């Protein structure tokens, strides 16, 4: 790819896509035979490893990803290893809306439900194929699989429980050095086709000078309030709370672009970000990056039975605003976070299980 404008660095490699091709999600459609295999896998696993929302499942189901259909495994491994696409979509997991029962009104109810067990098993197996699924002691009582649903009273929050407020682009847990490599969202219900929004850093065009500024430790990312809020409620004496409060009060300056200079990774969460005081150059570069991310954004309405996977180092994601119903028919997604190397995530603050980090 070449450009006539010398100030715009559009020469980033396309990582295997045809030159100039936008980074659309790679897609995979499960066929009837594969669906039968998936059903057999869910039946076989049943209760042997316990619930996939609990960390012990992953200690026991060490090789269970072998039960996934071969074509799906190839697709997911290629996605992981090539890094060609910042996101991908798998369609065709069975979901029986009737058997699910009503969308719970709160994640506290949802974590005890088991009506979506098959979907949780498939989500867990896909996560195991990509790496090490993990959870946060600070979120949904350490559940590895979380529930995304609108909560009454949280309409304006920047979290998976909001609705009326646009959920701004963010890197998942962007403030945290141990954030996930992959974010998986499995659709159970989405009657108004409310879109998740994804923007790939591969599509962003920026002046070289802006890229250089964004690659310097000139930015502060504070923890989103959800982490601190849930831990203060569930475990006010938790030893990680002072650390989280320090991350909020005195965040360490960090870079927004990092990794390969020609094909960088990205870390951003604008509503929780500042530049160092008076650094107008960094602020302007950040604004231009945000504008670019908005320019290249894509809507992806995660439908029942679809799985959206976002590479948390290559794409930011958010969600359009919508009006919640609170009548049992609301949008409901299952969410899993995956590390490529859980060893890297061990911080010494986990109390119960190393897979549940802080």
Ligand X SMILES: O=C(O)CCC(=O)C(=O)O
Size of the site for ligand X (CB under 6 A): 10
Q: In terms of Cα–Cα distance, which of 294, 288, 339 is closest to 317?
A: 294
User: Can you tell me which of 143, 218, 222, 319 binds ligand X, judged by CB under 6 A?
Assistant: 319
Q: Which of 172, 170, 122 is nearest to 338 (CA)?
A: 172
Q: Which is nearer to Fe ion, 115 or 225 (CB)?
A: 225
For ligand X, the binding residue among 76, 130, 148, 286 (CB under 6 A) is 148
| Complex with ligand X: residue 147 or 275, whichever CB lies closer | 147
Nearer to ligand X, 125 or 186 (CB): 186
* Chain mean position to CA 19: 27
Positions in 178-237 near Fe ion (CB under 5 A) = none
Q: Own/partner pairs for 342-351, CB < 8 Å, 24+ apart?
A: 342/131, 342/132, 342/134, 344/178, 345/132, 345/134, 345/178, 347/178, 349/137, 349/239, 349/240, 349/243, 350/137, 351/137, 351/238, 351/239
User: CB of 53: closest distance to Fe ion in angstroms?
Assistant: 18
Is there a contact between 288 and 156 (Cβ–Cβ < 8 Å)?
no
- Among 154, 172, 181, 311, contact with Fe ion (rule: CB under 5 A): 172
In b/e form, how buried is each residue of 38-60, taking b as 16+ CB within 10 angstroms? beebbeebeeebebbbbbebbee
- Residue 172 makes contact with ligand X by CB under 6 A: yes
Asked if 130 is part of the footprint of ligand X (rule: CB under 6 A), the reply reads no
Residue from the set 167, 186, 241, 315 that interacts with ligand X by CB under 6 A: 167
**Is residue 311 close enough to count as binding Fe ion by CB under 5 A?**
no
Pick between residue 126 and residue 333 the one whose CB is nearest to ligand X.
333
Encoded one letter per residue, x for contact with ligand X by CB under 6 A and - for no contact, window 183-222 reads --x----------x--------------------------
Query: Judged by CB under 6 A, does residue 317 bind ligand X?
Result: yes
Residue 80 binds ligand X (CB under 6 A):
no
Considering the complex, what minimum distance in angstroms separates the CB of residue 121 from ligand X?
Answer: 20
Q: Among residues 176 and 319, whose Cβ is nearest to ligand X?
A: 319
Tell me how far apart the alpha carbons of residues 130 and 77 are, in angstroms, rounded to a whole number. 7
Please identify which residue in the block is written with the tokens 């141990």.
178
Q: Which helix (H) or strand (E) holds 319?
A: strand 315-319
Distance between CA 275 and CA 282 in Å, rounded? 6
User: What does the binding site for ligand X look like in residue numbers (CB under 6 A)?
Assistant: 148, 160, 167, 172, 185, 196, 317, 319, 333, 335
């Amino acid at each position: 790819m070449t450009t006539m404008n010398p100030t715009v660095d559009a020469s980033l490699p396309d990582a295997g896509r045809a030159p100039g091709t936008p980074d659309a999600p790679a897609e995979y459609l499960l066929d009837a035979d594969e669906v039968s295999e998936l059903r057999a896998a869910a039946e076989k696993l049943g209760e042997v490893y316990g619930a996939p929302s609990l960390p012990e499942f992953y200690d026991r189901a060490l090789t269970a990803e072998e039960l996934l259909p071969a074509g799906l495994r190839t697709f997911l491994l290629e996605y992981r290893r090539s890094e060609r696409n910042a996101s991908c979509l798998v369609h065709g997991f069975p979901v029986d809306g009737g058997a699910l029962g009503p969308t719970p009104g709160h994640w506290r109810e949802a974590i005890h439900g088991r009506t979506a067990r098959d979907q949780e098993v498939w989500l867990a197996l896909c996560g195991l194929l990509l790496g090490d699924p993990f959870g946060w002691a600070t979120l949904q009582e350490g559940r590895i699989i979380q529930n995304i649903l609108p909560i009454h009273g949280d309409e304006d929050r920047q979290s998976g429980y909001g609705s009326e407020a646009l959920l701004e682009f963010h890197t998942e847990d962007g403030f945290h050095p141990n954030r996930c490599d992959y974010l998986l969202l499995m659709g159970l219900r989405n009657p108004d086709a409310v879109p998740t929004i994804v923007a790939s850093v591969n599509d962003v065009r920026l002046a070289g000078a802006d890229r250089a500024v964004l690659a310097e430790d000139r930015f502060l990312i504070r923890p989103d309030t959800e982490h601190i809020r849930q831990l203060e409620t569930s475990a006010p004496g938790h030893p990680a709370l002072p650390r989280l409060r320090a991350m909020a009060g005195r965040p360490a300056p960090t870079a927004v672009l990092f990794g390969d200079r020609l094909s960088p990774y990205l870390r951003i969460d604008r509503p929780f970000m500042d530049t160092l005081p008076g650094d107008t150059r960094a602020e302007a570069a950040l604004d231009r990056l945000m504008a670019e991310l908005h320019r290249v954004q894509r809507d992806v309405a995660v439908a029942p039975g679809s799985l959206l996977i976002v590479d948390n180092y290559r794409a930011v994601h958010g969600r359009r605003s919508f009006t919640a119903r609170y009548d049992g028919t609301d949008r409901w997604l299952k969410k899993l976070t995956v590390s490529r190397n859980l060893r890297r995530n061990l911080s010494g603050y986990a109390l119960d299980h190393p897979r549940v980090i802080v």
